[in-house]
Amino acid sequence: MRDKMNPDRLINVSLLNKKLVIVFILLMTVSVYLLYRGYSDVKDSHIRAKTLIEELQTKRDYVTTMHSSARERSLILLRMMGEEDPFELDELNQQMGANARAFIMARQHLTSMHLSEAERSILSEQNALTVINAPLQNQVAELFIEGEHDQAKNLLLNSAIPGQNAILQKINDFILMHENNTGQAVARIDVNFEHASKNFQILGAVLLGISAIFILFTLHISRREQKRLQKMLSEQKKISDQLDQTAEKLSYQASHDALTGLISRREFENRILQLLHRAEEGETHVVFYLDLDQFKIVNDTCGHYAGDELLREVSIVMQSCVRKSDALARLGGDEFGILLEYCDLDFAEKVAQSIIDKINDFRFRWERKTFRVGMSIGMVLMDDNTNNLEDVLKQIDSACYAAKDSGRNRYQIYHEDDKELTQREAEMDWVVRLERALEQNQFILYAQPIVPTIYDKSSQINYEVLIRLKQEDGEIIQPGAFLPSAERYHKMVSIDRWVVNEVLSILSGNQQVLSDIGYFSINLSCQSLTDPGFLKFIVDQLALHSELAEKICLEITETAAINSMLKAVRSISMLRGMGVRFALDDFGSGLSSFGYLKTLPIDYLKIDGMFVRDMLVDPIDGAMVKAIHDIGSLMGKETVAEFVENEDIVNELRNIGVHFVQGYGIGTPLPLEQVIEKQIRNEFSGHITVQTIN
């Protein structure tokens, strides 16, 4: 007989079942909660990791763009240093602008992101450097485009590249901080994943399968993100290595000549400074300054590519003549330098002669043409008596010039008691003083009257404009002291530009006196007459002061006009068409061919003072003055006699028919502004009374 079901047991079972259900529900609830929490934690960690990685990746991209753009601007400037083609220079300049815009855009995006205080501090420091350096780079590019290669190169090497290196270093600092932040991010992600794993372990055996699957899923995500982070770290290391290589490359390019591979002028001077310090301790060293003779012939005949190849081949020849410990440098153009360490003059002379002999035996061949070149060398001994770098450079330059002046293809040792070298140094000092005078406006203008030999009320006084140099102490330097150096070292174009600009400026502000003045005569040098940009300069200036053109007379020497006949005729004709007058100065002192007067469209013929001064005591001089006047008059040109010092000469010139006289007997030169003031007061300070007709 079966037992009846015990209600209490049923109740207990039901209660147990309920408890089991409750426990199960609780367990399930806890499990679901834990699962949900675990899943939420993993999901949140994944989202944060993904967001962080994307943010780090974006930062890396912007920083990489900034670095690449900054680096490319430096490399473009280095390319411009060796570029001559104006179109290529313009293209390179546009590339610089594009890189600048890319740099700015990347930085703007980067600064708009969430950045730490440290990151913003680095970017702020970088921006401060960029604000200083970017204009320098733009200035360097403009100088290259304008053809000012020496100044551009000096600014590039001394300022722009060091400034750019500082900017790149700040970017490197940002990248290093970025790497550290990435490492910390990886650590936080690992901690989050470990926390999620612990939550899953609480489920125990009941949720073992789910936990295992979830853990595997979590590990999969972790590995994937770690691989992404490792890949990013690897790429960042690669970028860091590239930055190091770029820095090394820039450093090499800054200290070496791109064409020949020799050290650069800057590096050469740095090494001289090092040897100067060692020379103070008793060591002796010798410095060479070498100038390649006949290089211009090759360059002009065969082009710049041939000239570049010649420089490379000559560099190889010279390297075979020096020791491995010696430094060979290209200083610019066809100029080289050599540093012989631990060397006396006897050994240095052997090296110099070896270079001269090998260069003399060397033949340069280009497109079936063969050329011989030579080498002029200046050398100076550096010992404990040597003062400084500037003196060394001046001395070797003077010695090299003396070698060239003595016939080229030889060497010259600098000695302090050498008169020629001393004169050369004095001339070089004048070059520096002239450059300073132009920069600081230390030149002043004087004017000397040119008056008609027969003067009436309608006659006008003319003036020749003369230049003087006013020193800091107020002393006035006559042009004979500095114009020879200006001629020799090609400073006359700059001086003539200053004179023309100053005369037009003064006359423009005092136009009330122009009706009483015939013209102001301005002397032009041979260099200005043949300079391609000077004619355009005068045309542009006269376009601004068109009312003054008829008051300007340009004086050119007989020798300058004849040596550049075609250019002279073209320039004179163009300016005469604008109203400018021309005078041929010092006629009779140069080539003195009357045939040239038919070709030159001039207005005045200035008879050289060496004939005028002694014409009363030397019949030949008197005949020369008369002949020049007669021929000039037949050709329709008025004559001006120079060096007129007394009234007897004036009377004789008047009898001959000479139209104008000029000299200290007529009037001494006075400051131009003082002459203008006298004209305003209708005063004339001449010494000789010329004949007056009613």
The predicted-structure confidence for 374-399, as pLDDT tens digits, reads as follows 999 999 999 888 888 888 888 888 88
Provide the token pair at 442. 């230390």
Instruction: Collapse the DSSP code of 554 into the 3-class scheme (helix H, G, I; strand E, B; otherwise coil) and give the result.
Output: strand
Q: What is the mean pLDDT of residues 336-347?
A: 93
Residues in the chain: 694
Higher pLDDT: 193 or 673? It is: 673
3-state secondary structure of 441: coil
Give the separation between CA 15 and CA 139, rounded to whole angstroms: 93
Fold (CATH) for 265-416: Alpha-Beta Plaits (3.30.70)
| Angular region, 40: left φ>0, alpha ψ -120 to 50, beta rest | alpha
The band of 17, judged by pLDDT with boundaries at 50, 70 and 90, is very low
641: pLDDT strictly greater than 60: yes
Least confident of 94-103, 227-236, 477-486, 672-681: 227-236
In terms of pLDDT, which residue wins out, 652 or 417?
652
Q: Read off the pLDDT of residues 436-494 as tens digits, 9 standing for 90 and up.
A: 889 999 999 999 999 999 877 778 899 999 999 998 888 898 988 888 888 877 889 99
Give domain limits for the chain: 50-255, 265-416, 448-686
Block residue for tokens 């080229």: 408
Q: Please list, in sequence order, all residues whose beta carbon lies within 8 angstroms of the beta carbon of residue 692, skipping any fewer than 6 positions away.
A: 454, 455, 456
**Residue for token digits 């390019």?**
253
DSSP state of 2: P
Answer positive or negative: Cα dihedral of 215, 216, 217, 220: positive
CATH entry 3.40.50.150 includes domain 448-686: no
Alpha-carbon distance of 179 to 240, in angstroms, equals: 11
Q: At which residue do the structure tokens 């020798």 appear?
A: 559
Query: Measured between alpha carbons, how far is 420 from 415 in angstroms, rounded to an integer?
Result: 10
The chain-wide mean pLDDT, for the chain, equals 83
pLDDT class of 63 with cuts at 50, 70, 90: confident
Average pLDDT score over residue span 216-227: 72
Q: Strand, coil or helix: what is 448?
A: strand
Side-chain-facing half-sphere of 475: CA atoms under 13 Å = 6
Comparing 163-172, 288-297, 511-520, 521-530, the range with the smallest average pLDDT is 163-172
Residue bearing the bigger pLDDT, 680 or 624: 624
- Average pLDDT for residues 496-518, to the nearest whole number? 92
475 contacts: CB under 8 Å, gap ≥ 6: none
What is the model's pLDDT at position 459?
A: 81
pLDDT given for residue 103 in this prediction: 86
52 closest CA partner among 176, 187, 170, 171: 187
More confidently predicted of 633 and 597: 633
pTM of the complete model: 0.49
Does 2 have pLDDT greater than 60? no
Backbone angles phi, psi at 628, to 5 degrees: -65, -45
Distance of CA 519 to the CA centre of its chain: 39
Q: What is the mean pLDDT of residues 102-123?
A: 86
User: Residue written as tokens 């033949």?
Assistant: 363
Question: In the prediction, which pLDDT does 419 show?
Answer: 64
Residues 6+ apart with CB under 8 A from 438: 494, 495, 498
Mean local confidence (pLDDT), 97-118? 86
The SS3 assignment for 564 reads: coil
Provide φ and ψ at 603, rounded to 5°: -105, -35
What mean pLDDT comes out for the span 260-283?
A: 89
Highest mean pLDDT among 138-152, 193-207, 662-676: 662-676
Q: HSE (CB half, 13 Å, CA atoms) of 611?
A: 24
Tokens 């120079």 appear where?
642
For residue 679, the number of C-alpha atoms closer than 13 Å in the C-beta half-sphere is: 24
Cα 294 to Cα 290: distance, rounded to the nearest angstrom: 13
d(CA 622, CA 600) in angstroms, rounded, equals: 25
